[in-house]
Structure formats: structure tokens, C-alpha cells
Chain A
Amino acid sequence: MVVAGWFSICGASYEFDNVGLFDIAGRPGSQLMWMGLSVGIIFVILMLESDFFDVFAYLIYAVVILLLIATIFLAPNIKGSHSWLVLGPIRLQPAEFAKFATALAVAKLMNIYGFKLTVPKNFLIVLVLIFLPMVCILLQKETGSALVYLAFFLMLYREGMSGYILLAGVCAVVFFVTEMKYSEVIVGITSMGEFIVSNIILAITMVLVYLERKDNKAAFIMLIGIATAYVAGYITSLFIPVDFALIAEGLVLLSVLYLIYLSARNWVWHYILIGFFALASLAFLFSVDYVFNNVLEPHQQIRIKVSLGLEDDPSGAGYNVNQSKIAIGSGGLTGKGFLNGTQTKLKYVPEQDTDFIFCTVGEEQGFVGATAVLILFGIFIIRLIMLAERQGNTFRRVYGYSVASIFFFHLAINVGMVTGLTPVIGIPLPFFSYGGSSLWGFTILLFIFLRLDASRNDR
């Protein structure tokens, strides 16, 4: 608890740091007001009985969902999104509050005695709870905030969700990136991307066969087969042109057939599942281009391309990221000193006080300061995980993991986009970015958990 308290002070001091930075931006006053109010909220939360959250979890969730739905219709159009509720001088973003509500609801659901994620029906209910607010937020055209809900999968993984779902997610991202990045390089009639991805699929399939079934023989046979095919392909290519990507794809199909054979012979489903994975991956690979070109919005396509380095457009879509990298890069080892950042002070980085706040840290405090912030965040998240682990009941643990996962996701995406590693997805950096709703959202999220933690020994 002492450490938790220390962290909250840290959080507060970040905020002060933050406020100082806004001397020029003209927003320190309102941020101070939000902070004052959030301190009030902290008190309210800490005063409440810890059971309160357990009891009212569904109610809070229902209210927030209604608010979200209302927002879709009531909110004015601000920068293309309909996520702000305007109440006189105050503007609220209900999406920020939906996170803790969702976390509470999911936690309560999973706290039911005998609840097991592995039961498909339960898993489905959890998914509904998570996707409901996500869809609402998507309808508000706040893609970034909606994506945050994917963070819950990290928590679900801890709670017993199959690791393969995460693996599949990671694979999907990796395949997508590889295919996009190398789709321009054409070898024969197919692209370099297809060749690389197909080989990754083969490799993963083999590793899975080895790990899941401890079936050295099958994996070895596959390896030999693939090697033989490539050697044969190479020799043939000396005489007639050979499309290696087609060979790789053919090998994937052959592997699937082999796995089905193994499955039939040994009467084990696992081979079929692995084969299904390989087949699905291949299908995903073929659908990437179609999805990219036909499903994604043009501005999303460009953002992805910029972050993959496929397009360089420093004055257009890449402007934010480029300026942000310049600002961070110019900070050097020790930075330019508090309030001395030229890039951020002169407003070169758009959204520098909200989503791109990390630039200011990078420029003014340099590598040392930015690293310190990152390490603090890392410790903070790990500390949250540790706190979650020591909770006696599932409700608190699930909630704790949700909090940690959400912070993790925010950190990953936000710092990633600011440093040009991930596409620009407009989500704030917790406790740093300007904005009352997000500050409140994170405050409530965090302090409900601290309140729960404080009473972990009550029963």
C-alpha cells in the first residue's frame, strides 16, 4: 500500500510537471481544475465501501453503455468524431469512463462461483461485455479508444484464455506488417511478402507440432520435406524460372494434409487444430491486401503505410510523426531543460499537449528523462500486476489485471506512435496527456483498484 501511495504521488507529480509545461499552451488552469476535481474523486472513491463496486458493477456498466449510446446521437461533430458530450462549458468523453465500468462488469461476471473461461458460453458472454462498449465507441468514430478494449484480452489470457488466441493476434499483426511491407517487392508472379509469410507459417506449424505433441518425428519429417522441396525448387530454377512463393504456399497445403493424416492415424484433434491454424493463416495472408485496400479508410491506410516506412510524406500524413520524432530526437541525452524545448514550445508537433505529450518529455528532459518516465511506467504496471496477483478473490484480481492491461496498452500504443514505431492511433498517455475526461477516467480506474486492494483482507 505504501508503494501504491507512492505511485499515486508520482502520478500527481507527473501531473504537476505536466501543468507546468502548459504555461504556453494556456491550458494549465483547466488542467489544474481537473486535477483538483480528480483529487475529490479519489476521496469519494476511497470513502466508498469496497463492496459498493462489486454490488453496483452491472448498474454502472449499464449506465455507461446508455451514456455511450446517447453520445452517439447527441454529441456534436468534433474533428470528425462524435465522442464528446457538451454540458455547458464542460465537455466530457464518456468513452474514458467506459473502461472502468467494463472492467468492473467483467470482473463481477468472472467472479461468479465456478466461472470458467474455457467454457465457450462464458467466454462468449465476456466477449459481449467487452465488445459492446467497443462497438459503441467505434460508432462514435473514435477508433483509437475502441482499440483500447483489446487490452482486456491480456487480462483474459491471465484468467485462462487460450494463449493461441493471443498468438493468433500477434501472428495476424506480424503477417499483416510483413505482407504490407514486402508486397511491393514482386518475385515472379507473387510478392516477397507472401513468400516470407508462408515460411513463417511453416515454421510456426512445425514448432507447434513439436511443442504440443512432443512429436519429434512428425516435425522432422516436415522439415526434411520442406528442405527437399526447396532444394528441388532451387535446382529446377537453374533451368526454368521457379516461383518460390508458390512452392512455399504449396508446402503449407501439403503440411495441412500431412497433419490431417496424422490426426486420422493417431486419433488426436490437435493436429487438425494446428492444420487449421496454418490454413487460416494462409487465408488471412490472401485477404490482407483486399482488407487493406477495401475495408480501411484512406487516412488509416496512409497512417499504417507511414509507420511501416512504405510512404514518406513529411508534410502530409507523416507530419505528426515526423515532427514528433524531430522533437524527441532534438532532446539529446539530457534534454533542453524544462520549458526550453523549441519544437514543442513553437507548436511544431500537433496535439503535443494531448496524444503527443511524450514529445515534450523527450525534448525537454532528453533521453534520461524519457527513459525514467518509461521505467516508472514499467514498474507501475508490474506493480499493478503484483497487486492484482495478491488479491484474494477473482473480482479484484480480474479488475486489477484489467487496469494493468489498459495502462499497458495505452503505454505501448502512445509511446509507440510518438516514436514512430506504431501507426498513429489517437489515445492518450495516462496521467500525462491534457484532458479532463482521460485524467478522471484513469484516476477512477486506478483508485477503485487501490480501494479494493486496501480492503483485500476484509473477508
Chain B
Amino acid sequence: MYTNRRYIISSAVVLLVLIFIVRLFYLQVVDNDYKAWADSNAFLKKTIYPSRGIMYDRNGKLLVYNQPAYDVMFIMREVQPFDTLDFCNILGITKDMFIKRMADVKNRRLNPGYSSYVPQVFMNQVSSRECGVLQEKLYKFPGFYIQNRTIREYEYPYAAHVLGTIGEVNRKDIENDNYYVQGDNSGRSGIEQSYEKVLRGVKGVEILLRDAHGRIKGRYEEGKFDVAPVSGKNLTLSIDMELQELGERLMQNKRGSIVMIEPSTGEILCMVSSPSYDPGMLSGRQRGKNHKLLEKNQDKPLLNRAIMGTYPPGSTFKPTQALTFLQEGVITTETQYTCAHGYTFRGGKPACHGHASPLNVVYALATSCNSFFCWGLHDMIDSRKRYASVQEGYEIWKNYLVSMGYGYKLDVDLPGEKRGFIPNSKYYDKYYSGRWNSSTIISIAIGQGEILATPLQICNLAATIANRGYFVAPHVVKEIQDTPLDSIYTDKRYTTVDKKYYEIVAEGMRNAVLGGTCRRAAIPGIEVCGKTGTAENPHGKDHSAFIGFAPYHDPKVAVCVYVENGGFGATYGVPIGKLMMEKYLLGEIPESDKLLEETMANAVVSPNILSLPNREL
């Protein structure tokens, strides 16, 4: 009776067991999510943050270091009802702020990585006093804990553009580099950004076992899998902080830049960009607010003009022309061109100032004769005996400039460097429909027209002349702890111009100081070489520029000063350049020049900009 039904029932049993086995196979073998989930469940991977590398100047002065700070973190899933009012009082916030912050954290549009299982930042960089009180009462606020962090402290309110700042990583950073998790900091500008991987070190991790109530049950396997953090490497910068300070003081109430390079090494001794700001403003909890204010400021204080500002080099460009013409054999030291208060070939334009005529290349550099270099360009590219076409001649001209560091990035170890602009022949072909000659583009011979360069490139020219024909890629980091510098910062890059022609140009620049346009750059006892620049600009008053190096033989320093709308090169460029060289070469500015220093520091070229000493917003 019904005995066959035993088979049906038995099959049901077998079927059930099979279903369960398949289900188990899926859960345990196929699907890996559950394993990861289990880990995040049971293991509290406590990140131990390494201390970020600190920075010294070239003389060993501490510039940037770390200060302990505390982040209030929480894991939403573990948060239980608590006394919000008490909590808010401790942190000095209102209840509304608390509610808003909680809502923001949970808002997946603002915080795409949100999960109730993952630690979230409630508040950044809480002071140690607030943190102390909170720590004591932490047991009242389940789900909250304190994460030790460090914030950057700046010893001096200078060199903001070079040092840079750190800020919280954004979504893109996290996607690009899985080292970061939400709430981490990374370099956002300057050295902090370009040396991020060196400075940040390696995070450590402590694996703790945590039960369902979030209580720590000890270390996993006695800490066998813990990883100790590796501190970031310390950096020694090539910057001389005293020099930097002087530079920033001299540039107050002016827009522009000062760059100084040690020619033999390419080390940047100071890099001033004005207006500047106190780097401490962008550290800590006020960062966001201050950054917005700086961003909005019409004078663009966040812009590092030394490498991001592109300017017409003006007459500081003339040495490149002399070098090119000499190397190409367009002129010799004997070649004389006439100048009649202007370039007569084009009816007196560009104009020139009063000096003896005709004149040779050394004298032309000393007096900054416009006509001489216009003639030179004309003889070089318009002569069909020399090159088959104007285009070919122009390309050769351009290649000389590229070899001297113009038109392309110099690969300075700072983010955001601009390449400047040296047009190629195609540019002019397009612009002038293929019908052009030296007269069409004559202003490039005197560093005007389309030519644009960064102050760093302009300074690099001075360094190249000081070296008589080579330069080392300029850089701001002199030493990385236990790590050799990248070879591009040690290798010499020779230009395509012979050393002997550099001697001629150096002589011209020496004569400019001895009896030419930059007599005010003369420093007693030191043979200074220099070249002024007065760059016309379509937007306003001329820019005042100066390049120089000293001493004439065995140069120790090359300098470039560029003051926007400063007028004649001799007005601001020369005296500021002189003071900077004095400071570096003599250690102090002599008493006799103290008045000059004050005059320069107090001179107002651009009113109402961020300025020292109280660079408050």
C-alpha cells in the first residue's frame, strides 16, 4: 500500500540536500564578496599613519614639520543613540551643524564612498584640548573614535608656492592611487605635490579583532600581520630661506617674481612669486575657507608666477640673439650695425635710445641697442645666401632658443610649470599666409611679440651664460634622504652655442654693469654682470625685468627679477636684483644699501594686493 511513495519522499530528501549543497557552493566557493565582508566585519584594520617627511632649507633650517592633530571618526553602523548636545558642546559646534554634517556624510552624492560599515570622518583636525575632553567621554558615544593625524606646520610665512600645501584627497585621487582612502591627505601644490610619494611614507596597519559590538578583542595573530609604518623621507631644499624672505619683502605691493639659481648645480636659491600668502593659512581646518578666498582674489596669489607666469622677456632676451648670430656666423665681434634712435631698415621702428653708432655686439648688449639685434635677425633669416627660405632660417633660429631652455618646460620639480612660447615657422605661415620675413616678425629679436617665457626660463638663461654654455635643470630639492636625485637634476645640458661666444655675451653683460644700462647693479668688490629688460605689454605699463649673474668669473649666482608694470628695467629689476645678489654673496646687505632696500620694499607698484608683513585676508 502506497509503498512507492517512499521513493518520492526519499527523492525529496536527496533534492533538498542537493539544493543546499549548491547553495553552499555558491556562498562559499563562488561568491567572494562574503569573505571580504567577513574581514571588514571582524578585522578592524587600524591605519597607522606614517609621519610625513619634513623639509629643511639649504642651510639646515627647519621649514615644514608635523604637528599632531586629531580627526573625529565614526562608523555609522555602530553609532547608537547618544547625548548629541553634550557631544556638540565638546566639539564646540551647534546641533544644526551636527545634523548637517551627518546628513552630508550619508549623502552619497557628496560622499560616494559612504558605507555604514566604513569609518567616516566627522570632523577634521580637532585641537588637542577638545580631543582630550572627547577622549575622556568617548565611552558615551558608541561608534565614534579618534584617529591620530598630523597637520603641517610652517616655520616661516614664506615660500608658500615652493613648499606647497596638503589637502584631503578627492575621489579621483582615490581612483588613481589605491594607497589613498577617504580622509587621507596628499600634496596639493608645490613640493608637497611633486614629492608626494617621497614625503608620504608608507602607511602601517594594525589588525585588531572586533566583536559584533565593536569591542576590540585583541590583536589578530599577536600582530603577526601588522605592518609598521615607514616614515616619509626628509627633504633638504635648495632654497635659502633668508634670501627667500628678503625677496618676498622686496616684492611686496608688486606683482612679479624673483628667481635665483646656483648656476653650476641648477639649484634654485629662491623663488619668489608675488603676491604670496602664509602657507600656514592652507593647513588645518581653515584650509577650505582660506583656499576659496585666495582663489577668488583678483591678483591670483595661488599662481606661482615664477613657473606659471609667462611674460615677454624683453631685452633680457638679447643675449640669446647675440649667441645665435655669433654661432651662425651672422656677426662677429667686429660686426658693426648702425642705430639712429631706431631700426632704420623699418623706418626707425623699433625705436632705440641715445648711444654711439655704429656699434658692435658687446656694446650693443651693454647699451641694450634694439637696432643691432633687429639687423642681426634681418641678416640671418632674410639672406637667401644663407638659407633656402625664411622658414628654414627661422627654424634654425628657433632651435637655438629651444636649446637654451625656451619654448619647452625646464622640468623643474614643481607642479604646473608652463612652457612659455617660441612660435615655429608654421605658426607664422599660418598667421601671415606664408608671406613673411624678418621685418614682419622683427620684435621677436628684442624679446617682444609672440615670445613668452617664465621667469624661471629667463633666470635659466642667466645661469647658462654664467656657466658659459650649459645649464642643469633647475630644481628646488637639493637632497632627498637616502635617495639620489634624479639624473635630470645633475646632468649638464649644453646648448648649441660654443663657449667662446658665451664669453663675448658675458663680456657684454659685464659692460652693461660697468657702463651700460645696469650700472646700479654694481656691487663693490664683486664683478656683477647683468642685462636689463623693459618689456612692453599691451595691458598696461611696461614690465621691469633684470637678469644677472656674479661674479663675472666663477659665477656663484644667477638672478632674474620680473616686476609686472614696474616700468624700466633699471627702476625695479636692477636694484632688487642687486640687493638679492648682495644678500646671497655677502651674507648681508651692506649699510650703504639699507636705504635702497627700504625704498624697494616700500615701493608700491600694484596697490591693494596681498602683502607682507601682515598678509591677512
Say yes or no: A389 contacts B3, CB within 8 Å. yes
Say yes or no: B29 contacts A343, CB within 8 Å. no
Q: Is there a chain B Cβ closer than 8 Å to A86's Cβ?
A: no
Q: Is there a chain A Cβ closer than 8 Å to B13's Cβ?
A: yes
Measured CB to CB, the closest approach of chain A to B444, in angstroms, equals: 69
Say yes or no: A325 contacts B41, CB within 8 Å. no
Say yes or no: B38 contacts A329, CB within 8 Å. yes
Measured CB to CB, the closest approach of chain B to A209, in angstroms, equals: 22
What CA separation (Å) do A326 and B28 show in the bound complex?
A: 9
Interface-located stretch among B209-217, B301-309, B363-371: B209-217
What CA separation (Å) do A412 and B21 show in the bound complex?
A: 12
Within 8 A of B (CB), among A347-404: 347-348, 350, 362, 366-367, 370-371, 374-375, 377-378, 381-382, 385, 389, 404
Say yes or no: B211 contacts A343, CB within 8 Å. no
B2, B20, B213 — most chain A CB neighbours (10 Å): B20
What CA separation (Å) do A289 and B601 show in the bound complex?
A: 84
Say yes or no: A315 contacts B116, CB within 8 Å. yes
A374-B24, A389-B6 known; A329+B34 contact, CB < 8 A: yes
Say yes or no: A370 contacts B28, CB within 8 Å. yes
Say yes or no: B24 contacts A346, CB within 8 Å. no
What CA separation (Å) do A327 and B29 show in the bound complex?
A: 13
Our pick among A330, A350, A408 for the contact of B16 (Cβ within 8 Å) is: A408
Q: Is there a chain A Cβ closer than 8 Å to B9's Cβ?
A: yes
Say yes or no: A332 contacts B28, CB within 8 Å. yes
Chain B window 353-375, contacts with chain A (Cβ cutoff 8 Å), 1 for yes, 0 for no: 00000000000000000000000
Q: Is there a chain A Cβ closer than 8 Å to B5's Cβ?
A: yes
Q: B34: which A residues are within 8 A, CB to CB?
A: 325-326, 328-330
Chain B window 1-40, contacts with chain A (Cβ cutoff 8 Å), 1 for yes, 0 for no: 1110110011011101101110111011101011101110
B14, B17, B38 — most chain A CB neighbours (10 Å): B38
Say yes or no: B13 contacts A348, CB within 8 Å. no
Say yes or no: B41 contacts A375, CB within 8 Å. no
What CA separation (Å) do A412 and B5 show in the bound complex?
A: 19
Our pick among B3, B9, B33 for the contact of A329 (Cβ within 8 Å) is: B33
Q: Is there a chain A Cβ closer than 8 Å to B42's Cβ?
A: yes
Q: Is there a chain B Cβ closer than 8 Å to A300's Cβ?
A: no
Q: Is there a chain A Cβ closer than 8 Å to B46's Cβ?
A: no
Q: B217: which A residues are within 8 A, CB to CB?
A: 346
Say yes or no: A367 contacts B17, CB within 8 Å. no
Q: Is there a chain A Cβ closer than 8 Å to B43's Cβ?
A: yes
Q: Is there a chain B Cβ closer than 8 Å to A333's Cβ?
A: yes
Q: B426: which A residues are within 8 A, CB to CB?
A: none
What CA separation (Å) do A343 and B213 show in the bound complex?
A: 12
Within 8 A of B (CB), among A86-135: none
Within 8 A of B (CB), among A316-348: 323, 325-333, 342-343, 346-348
A346-B212, A375-B17, A419-B20 known; A327+B9 contact, CB < 8 A: no
Q: B12: which A residues are within 8 A, CB to CB?
A: 154, 408
Q: A374: which B residues are within 8 A, CB to CB?
A: 17, 20-21, 24
Chain A window 411-427, contacts with chain B (Cβ cutoff 8 Å), 1 for yes, 0 for no: 11001100101000000
Say yes or no: B28 contacts A328, CB within 8 Å. yes
Measured CB to CB, the closest approach of chain B to A391, in angstroms, equals: 12
Q: Smallest CB-CB separation from A415: which chain B residue?
A: B20
B12, B16, B28, B33 — most chain A CB neighbours (10 Å): B28
Our pick among B1, B2, B28, B212 for the contact of A362 (Cβ within 8 Å) is: B28
What CA separation (Å) do A415 and B20 show in the bound complex?
A: 7
Q: Smallest CB-CB separation from B41: which chain A residue?
A: A348
Q: A371: which B residues are within 8 A, CB to CB?
A: 21, 24
Q: Is there a chain A Cβ closer than 8 Å to B77's Cβ?
A: yes
What CA separation (Å) do A374 and B19 show in the bound complex?
A: 10
Measured CB to CB, the closest approach of chain B to A350, in angstroms, equals: 8
Q: A346: which B residues are within 8 A, CB to CB?
A: 41-42, 209-212, 217
Q: Smallest CB-CB separation from A331: which chain B residue?
A: B28
Q: Is there a chain B Cβ closer than 8 Å to A312's Cβ?
A: no
Q: Is there a chain B Cβ closer than 8 Å to A26's Cβ?
A: no
Within 8 A of A (CB), among B19-72: 19-21, 23-25, 27-29, 31, 33-35, 37-39, 41-43
A160-B2, A332-B29, A389-B6 known; A326+B17 contact, CB < 8 A: no
Q: A327: which B residues are within 8 A, CB to CB?
A: 38
Say yes or no: B9 contacts A157, CB within 8 Å. yes
Say yes or no: B25 contacts A367, CB within 8 Å. yes
Q: Smallest CB-CB separation from A376: which chain B residue?
A: B17
Q: A381: which B residues are within 8 A, CB to CB?
A: 13
What CA separation (Å) do A326 and B38 show in the bound complex?
A: 6
Say yes or no: A419 contacts B24, CB within 8 Å. yes
Say yes or no: A362 contacts B24, CB within 8 Å. yes
Q: Smallest CB-CB separation from A375: which chain B residue?
A: B17
Q: Is there a chain B Cβ closer than 8 Å to A456's Cβ?
A: no
Q: Smallest CB-CB separation from A158: which chain B residue?
A: B5
Q: Is there a chain B Cβ closer than 8 Å to A159's Cβ?
A: yes
Additional A-B contact list (16), CB under 8 Å, known A157-B9, A328-B27, A329-B34: A154-B12, A159-B2, A315-B116, A329-B31, A329-B37, A330-B34, A330-B39, A342-B38, A342-B43, A342-B209, A343-B41, A367-B29, A374-B17, A374-B20, A415-B20, A419-B24
Selected A-B contacts with CB under 8 Å, 19 pairs: A157-B9, A325-B27, A330-B37, A333-B28, A342-B43, A346-B42, A346-B209, A347-B212, A348-B41, A370-B24, A374-B21, A375-B21, A378-B16, A382-B10, A382-B13, A385-B13, A408-B12, A419-B24, A421-B23
Partner-A contacts on B (CB < 8 A): 1-3, 5-6, 9-10, 12-14, 16-17, 19-21, 23-25, 27-29, 31, 33-35, 37-39, 41-43, 77, 116, 209-213, 217
Partner-B contacts on A (CB < 8 A): 154, 157-160, 315, 323, 325-333, 342-343, 346-348, 350, 362, 366-367, 370-371, 374-375, 377-378, 381-382, 385, 389, 404, 408, 411-412, 415-416, 419, 421
Closest 7 CB pairs of A and B: A329-B34, A330-B38, A378-B17, A342-B42, A346-B211, A367-B28, A329-B27
